Amino acid sequence: MRITISGSPGSGTTTLGRSIAEKYGYRYVSAGEVFRGLAKERNMDIAAFGKIAENDPAIDLEIDARQKEIGESSDDIILEGRLAGWMVENADLKVLLRATPECRSTRIAAREGLTEEQAYELTVEREACEAGRYMEYYEIDILDFSPYDLILNSETFSADELFAVVDTAVSSILKRA
């Protein structure tokens, strides 16, 4: 089974992805892990590689291509990333988590030691930049939710409740197989 979990920063994709992977014994791969792997291949730390990536579209394209290749060629995998639902066309289940920028900024501030105001400004700026790149590179409108099977509000539902919904969906799919 291939499952993608997408969502904006702070929406809970990592928590959900790791929980589902743990329950089912699936491999968990995040776009962040792919990024770190590429930095390591170039003998660079993440910060230095990030600076290069900001100005080099080839890095984004390579991360996305790697994620697509890993996802489409692997079984029993959870692939987490903002474009995972778009990139892994043969996924059995595509999940999108959503929450307001205010909610996500609160979460980001708590985990990264920022003020909520700083987290909000950085988050809004980052998302606008990403949306432009996704449109430019792939003609993907990140606000088009058509690829997703499940769209869940992580502001309304707790991590345990999100897990229960996705676990039910996975169990249903596995029963059909």
- Tens digits of per-residue pLDDT, 9-20? 999 999 999 999
Res 51: pLDDT: 79
pTM for the model stands at: 0.91
Q: Is 81 annotated as a binding residue?
A: no
Q: Is 168 annotated as a binding residue?
A: no
- Domains annotated for the chain, with CATH where assigned, are 2-170 (3.40.50.300)
Res. 155: pLDDT tops 90: yes
Q: Is 171 annotated as a binding residue?
A: no
Q: Is 12 annotated as a binding residue?
A: yes
The secondary structure of 86-132 as a DSSP string is HH-TT-SEEEEEE--HHHHHHHHHHHHT--HHHHHHHHHHHHHHHHH
pLDDT band at 52 (very low <50, low <70, confident <90, very high): confident
Q: Is 106 annotated as a binding residue?
A: no
The closest of 158, 147, 164 to 20, measured between CA atoms, is 164
Q: Where are the alpha helices (DSSP H) in the chain?
A: 13-24, 31-41, 46-55, 57-73, 84-87, 101-112, 116-138, 159-176
Res. 47: pLDDT tops 80: no
Write the pLDDT tens digit of every residue in 74-109.
Answer: 999 999 999 999 999 999 999 999 999 999 999 999
Q: Is 7 annotated as a binding residue?
A: yes
Choice among 13-17, 40-44, 55-59 with the minimum mean pLDDT: 55-59
Q: Is 10 annotated as a binding residue?
A: yes
